[in-house]
Structure 1
Amino acid sequence: MKCFRKKKVVLCLLICNIIFVIILYCFLQTEKVITDNVRKKITYTVVIREFEEFDHDVPQTVRHIHTVLGNDVPIFIVADKLTYPRMNFSNSDVQSIFILDFEMDGKISTDTEILNAISSDLVIFLPDGTRIHNKSVFERLIEDFFHSKLSQAFAVKTGNDNLRCTGMDINLQRWRMKITTFDGSEGHCDYIEGDQAILIRTETLSMLPSPWSVPLTWSIYMQFVVRRWKSFVYTPVVFVPRKGFKNPDSMKKFQHVKQKRENSLLRKFKIKEVVYKTDADHEKKFYYGCNRDSEQCYSLINDIPDFLHRGKWTPPCCLRALRETADYVFDIFSNYSMRYWLEGGSLLGAARSGDIIPWDISVDIGIYMEDIPKCQQLVKTGNYEFIDEKGFLWEKAEEGEFYRVFYSVTNRNYIQIFPFYSKNGIMTKDFWFKSHKQDVEFPEHFLKPLSTIAFIGKNVSAPNHVQEFLELKFGQGAIDNPKYPNGVSVY
């Protein structure tokens, strides 16, 4: 019995020793993996993307980088076009210079070609004129980012001012970008303002549809926001504040070039409205689409705007043109004491949100036909089209008895004016859109008396009992159940 107990104890000890050895082995292997990862050399490529042909510091910047970080650091220069005078580098200075601008007698560098040339783990975009404090702080930055998990990019200040973390929202359907200022200079951000270097994984860069577009900070952060990626403000000091231009006149020239680049980038990314929201009550809007001197931003395909086929809504610049034109016509009709009212989809938009339906392309207004002689513009339009003193084009429609007022001769965004008359207590007219089911007759009692409704920031005339009027035209629940013109539900 005692012998059996001794064997049992020995067996238990043996099993415990085996388990201990296994645990120790696993621990040592884990330590080895961790140590190997720590010792792994993190590779990076320096890219100088933005610099000015008329005043730059690129050769000196390249030499400084090699002096501090060593000659084995690959440096790429990506330029829109060849600079004049040309920059002179030795073969050891830069690994490659890529030119993006198309030339009939030259070779354009493609996004894929540049990305394929980068074999490193990371890419750091250094602004022209950047100076590094020392190698150790730079390598600490590289290591910190390499082991970070929550940020797609690090932003590191290269100027005198701290970087600012702001909110950015991009609504591609509405062609709109909104930038919101808020307190806080570090953390995970949508958009980071200020003079900065940007550190990014090569894999992440390759996932961007336009990795080399400028202005670089706008371009990268806009593409990040669409993918809901965040960036981080790295606060340790890595770089010496960059010096300004050598020539005092270069700053004025740079501001002009910078604005052109921003405009070009927004148009390339199909952003037609930028909203800066400074607080709950104040915002500024800037438009980058069509204007009075340019054509409208869409065409019609089978009577449906092409932007709807692409899952987008009416460009904000077109909506602005419609609002300005409608506001102008409302004032004219009021001054002439004309009886007018919002019609069709315009009244529907007013009932829903006090504005034009986001995917509509016109504003529809009904008038009493007998009031036409009160308005000299409509009387004049009955004979020929004309441009009034404010630049709006008035014309009688070729397809029927109604009128259009265009934003301008070039920009053909328009409002429509439909003359109605009473026939046995029913409001009718002499032209009907066969494809518009809502274009129907209605009882005159909806206009006696006229009411008002909020629309495009002002009170305008509307039928009384708006919901009943709209349900007569569009069907029950029209206000609460928005639909696209092709019947697809939007909510």
Structure 2
Amino acid sequence: MVRLKYAKLLTILVFIVNVILFLYTWKWFVSESNNYSTTVQTKLLKIKDRAHSTNKHIKKLITIVFRDFYHFENDLQHSIDSILNQIPNIQIMVLYEDEPYPPLNFVKNYTATHSNVKFINLNFDIRKTSKALSPLSQIRTKYVLFTPDSFRFGGRAIIQKILAEIEKKSNRKNVANSRNTDIDASSSDQNINIDSLAKNDNSKSIIIIPFVSNVASMSNCCRINIDIANWTMEYISIKNSIHQCDMFLQKHAILADTSLLKIMPDALASPFPEMFYIQAKICKAKLHFLKTGLLQDGKRLFTAFHNKQRRKEIRKQQFKNMYKKIQIKKVVRKYRGKINDRHNKQHEKKATRDIFGNAMPAIVLSNVSIPILINTEYFGCEKNTRSCIGTVFRKPFYVYLKRNTPPCCLEKLKSVFYHVLEELTNVGIRYWLDNVALKSAIETSELARDAFEIDISFISYDLDRSTLLKKAQTRPVIDNLGFYWIKATEGQYFRVQYSKQNQVGVNLLPFSMIGERVRANGFFGWKAKEFSAEFLHPMSTVIFLNKNVMTVNNVCDFLSLKNIT
């Protein structure tokens, strides 16, 4: 019995010990699990706080602007959503010129639920204040990120890389400027302009963020040359040359300092971003490229032929309006490369587009010399419009603006000259190049930069040899090529114009030989000065506009006689 009691007691003790060990073990596991969950929650809160802090920092620095989109086909809603999903309260502006019709359904949803998303019409509205008509006055952040339509926002890391890049460029400029001598404080405020701001301001860095879908084998960059005096702009396509790049050609986003936008005449003007790049060139801003953190494309747009053509026509009209606004009459595009038809067919869908949206020839490098393909287009006067020169009182208006003759008018003046020269030569009329045109022929063999007309004198006895001149004596005549032959109402001289509407032309001045003197026949003024017939015996020739043209002998004495120096 005693052994049985001891055995029971031992069993009870073992059970109690096991229960105690179980309780302590269970309590330890519970405390550890609580500590682990607390640690996890703490880490999650830290991540959320860090993300919130990053978002807050980005919102203070950047405003995102959508400037280039088309209401008849776009991916704007999904592009905005991709941003709001990552940075909910960031400021977003959608700028447009014409009110979308039919209206975009998602606009009301955004304006009702997101106060940070604004849709702004850039067209003039007399009911709006000047601040409402100027989106730049509503931007409070240091930087503006211009994003194209149809893209997907990958995350905050891309924005952080962009900000780090532009801050790095600004710091480099500050160090460089600190080493230079201080600007003379005696400069007056009246002389401050864009050029001086471009030299002294440190915020002239523009960051280009390319898209992943860009074709590496195509031209990325374009150099812009602007010749205001000659009404000319030149685009030179270059391949991946960062230091010479004035405009990026393929799909990309742009980060710029808000202060840079505010010193531009119209930073948000269409076509965007081409007009922006032209103003940046004048402001001497520098482009820098973000090599990492490329942007992702959204939905593919303009796959239908109808919408593609509609977009192309809109772009063409935008460029015409832009050149008219900045007073550019001649546009030259230079593509350096060799056209390979098979290569072009394979890359037709991915080919680089020029600024009008037309496919550019692919650049194929080879061991042979690479030709330069030049395309010239004029945006000034035409056959059915008035000339850009207008009415002339002693001097053309552009001389007082320190500019030369518009290139469109020069080309039309050359066309009229070639046509008149062919007519006079074919019918056998004795003529000679005269006055200012003769002086230009002797000096440069070309037209003077401020030329607005060409004078050709002829012997009046030969007038009946030309049917056109005979008809023009009684009434104006339009020949088979559309040139307008007319007799002046004041005086007996003739004028051949480019067309009835476009008055650019050549003057035909009749002279009569009376004995040893040559006198003007029926017209007056300094051009009608009498001179000796010895200047016409014998006749001489001069090269003018790549043509052998008849002229007087002893040209220098002849011009001196007419006081043309």
The TM tier, using the shorter chain, reads: 0.7 to 0.9
- Residue of structure 1 aligned with 2:440, choices 349, 357, 362: 349
1:293 corresponds to 2:293 = no
Deviation at 1:187, TM superposition (A): 2.8
Q: Is the 8 A contact 2:89 2:116 kept in 1?
A: no
Greater shift, 321-330 or 150-159, is seen at 150-159
Q: Is the 8 A contact 2:63 2:145 kept in 1?
A: yes
**Secondary structure in structure 1 of the residue aligned to 2:89:** coil
Counterparts of residues 131-210 of structure 1 (less than 5 Å): 131-149=152-170, 151-158=204-211, 159-162=213-216, 164-210=220-266
Specify whether residues 83 and 330 from structure 1 end up closer, same or farther in structure 2 by C-alpha distance, changes over 3 A only. Answer: same
Match of 1:82 in 2: 99
Deviation at 1:343, TM superposition (A): 1.2
Match of 1:62 in 2: 80
- Structure 2 gaps of 5+ residues are 1-55, 174-203, 337-370
Partner Cα separation in structure 1 for residue 79 and residue 130 of structure 2: 23
Match of 2:119 in 1: 97
Partner Cα separation in structure 1 for residue 326 and residue 132 of structure 2: 16
**Secondary structure in structure 1 of the residue aligned to 2:289:** strand
TM-score of the two chains, using structure 1 as the length reference = 0.81
**Secondary structure in structure 2 of the residue aligned to 1:181:** strand
Match of 2:312 in 1: 255
Deviation at 1:120, TM superposition (A): 0.8
Partner Cα separation in structure 2 for residue 287 and residue 193 of structure 1: 22
Structure 1 residues 401-421: Cα deviation after superposition (integer angstroms, max 9, x where no partner): 100111111111121110112
Q: Is the 8 A contact 1:165 1:182 kept in 2?
A: yes
Match of 2:144 in 1: 123
Deviation at 1:252, TM superposition (A): 2.1
Match of 1:267 in 2: 324
- Residue of structure 2 aligned with 1:73, choices 63, 83, 90: 90
Partner Cα separation in structure 2 for residue 169 and residue 147 of structure 1: 28
Partner Cα separation in structure 1 for residue 546 and residue 281 of structure 2: 31
Q: Is the 8 A contact 2:517 2:532 kept in 1?
A: yes
Match of 1:489 in 2: none
**Secondary structure in structure 1 of the residue aligned to 2:541:** strand
The AA in structure 1 aligned to 2:151 is T
Q: Is the 8 A contact 1:75 1:93 kept in 2?
A: no
- Residue of structure 1 aligned with 2:395, choices 284, 291, 304: 304
**Larger relative helix fraction:** 2
Specify whether residues 281 and 332 from structure 1 end up closer, same or farther in structure 2 by C-alpha distance, changes over 3 A only. Answer: farther
The AA in structure 2 aligned to 1:461 is M
Deviation at 1:239, TM superposition (A): 0.4
Match of 2:61 in 1: 43
Please report the RMSD computed on the Cα atoms of aligned residues, expressed in angstroms: 2.6
The AA in structure 2 aligned to 1:46 is I
Q: Is the 8 A contact 1:138 1:238 kept in 2?
A: no
Greater shift, 257-266 or 184-193, is seen at 184-193
Q: Is the 8 A contact 1:344 1:439 kept in 2?
A: no
Specify whether residues 138 and 431 from structure 1 end up closer, same or farther in structure 2 by C-alpha distance, changes over 3 A only. Answer: farther
The AA in structure 1 aligned to 2:322 is L
Specify whether residues 272 and 133 from structure 1 end up closer, same or farther in structure 2 by C-alpha distance, changes over 3 A only. Answer: same
Match of 1:15 in 2: none
Partner Cα separation in structure 1 for residue 299 and residue 130 of structure 2: 30
Structure 1 residues 281-324: Cα deviation after superposition (integer angstroms, max 9, x where no partner): 65321001110011112433644322223222211111111111
Partner Cα separation in structure 2 for residue 374 and residue 73 of structure 1: 79
Greater shift, 245-254 or 139-148, is seen at 245-254
Deviation at 1:422, TM superposition (A): 2.1
The AA in structure 1 aligned to 2:206 is A
1:446 corresponds to 2:535 = yes
Q: Is the 8 A contact 1:188 1:232 kept in 2?
A: no
The AA in structure 2 aligned to 1:311 is K
Partner Cα separation in structure 1 for residue 66 and residue 113 of structure 2: 17
The AA in structure 1 aligned to 2:69 is F
Deviation at 1:374, TM superposition (A): 0.9
TM-score of the two chains, using structure 2 as the length reference = 0.71
Partner Cα separation in structure 2 for residue 443 and residue 46 of structure 1: 76
Greater shift, 440-449 or 213-222, is seen at 440-449
1:472 corresponds to 2:561 = yes
**Secondary structure in structure 1 of the residue aligned to 2:73:** coil
The AA in structure 2 aligned to 1:160 is N
Match of 2:452 in 1: 361
Partner Cα separation in structure 2 for residue 471 and residue 370 of structure 1: 27
**Secondary structure in structure 2 of the residue aligned to 1:276:** strand
Deviation at 1:152, TM superposition (A): 3.4
**Secondary structure in structure 2 of the residue aligned to 1:349:** helix
The AA in structure 2 aligned to 1:443 is S
The AA in structure 1 aligned to 2:233 is M
Deviation at 1:134, TM superposition (A): 2.8
Q: Is the 8 A contact 1:188 1:233 kept in 2?
A: no
Specify whether residues 385 and 102 from structure 1 end up closer, same or farther in structure 2 by C-alpha distance, changes over 3 A only. Answer: same
The AA in structure 2 aligned to 1:121 is K
The AA in structure 1 aligned to 2:441 is A
Partner Cα separation in structure 1 for residue 302 and residue 330 of structure 2: 35
Specify whether residues 263 and 385 from structure 1 end up closer, same or farther in structure 2 by C-alpha distance, changes over 3 A only. Answer: same
Specify whether residues 261 and 421 from structure 1 end up closer, same or farther in structure 2 by C-alpha distance, changes over 3 A only. Answer: same
Specify whether residues 115 and 353 from structure 1 end up closer, same or farther in structure 2 by C-alpha distance, changes over 3 A only. Answer: same
Partner Cα separation in structure 2 for residue 343 and residue 108 of structure 1: 59
Match of 2:469 in 1: 378
Partner Cα separation in structure 2 for residue 321 and residue 253 of structure 1: 31
Deviation at 1:147, TM superposition (A): 3.1
1:229 corresponds to 2:250 = no
Larger CA Rg, structure 1 vs 2: 2
The AA in structure 2 aligned to 1:63 is D
Specify whether residues 131 and 465 from structure 1 end up closer, same or farther in structure 2 by C-alpha distance, changes over 3 A only. Answer: farther
Deviation at 1:107, TM superposition (A): 4.2
**Secondary structure in structure 2 of the residue aligned to 1:174:** coil
Q: Is the 8 A contact 1:47 1:123 kept in 2?
A: yes
Partner Cα separation in structure 1 for residue 551 and residue 239 of structure 2: 44
- Residue of structure 2 aligned with 1:419, choices 501, 510, 514: 510
Partner Cα separation in structure 2 for residue 117 and residue 66 of structure 1: 20
- Which aligned runs of 4 or more in structure 1 are off by greater than 6 angstroms? 39-42, 108-112
Q: Is the 8 A contact 1:293 1:410 kept in 2?
A: yes
Partner Cα separation in structure 1 for residue 562 and residue 236 of structure 2: 41
Q: Is the 8 A contact 2:90 2:116 kept in 1?
A: no
Counterparts of residues 14-53 of structure 1 (less than 5 Å): 43-53=61-71
Q: Is the 8 A contact 2:389 2:452 kept in 1?
A: no
Partner Cα separation in structure 1 for residue 332 and residue 168 of structure 2: 36
- Structure 1 gaps of 5+ residues are 1-38, 479-491
The AA in structure 1 aligned to 2:215 is D
**Secondary structure in structure 1 of the residue aligned to 2:273:** helix
Match of 1:284 in 2: 375
**Secondary structure in structure 2 of the residue aligned to 1:255:** helix
**Secondary structure in structure 2 of the residue aligned to 1:420:** strand
Specify whether residues 405 and 301 from structure 1 end up closer, same or farther in structure 2 by C-alpha distance, changes over 3 A only. Answer: closer
Partner Cα separation in structure 2 for residue 40 and residue 67 of structure 1: 16
The AA in structure 2 aligned to 1:306 is F
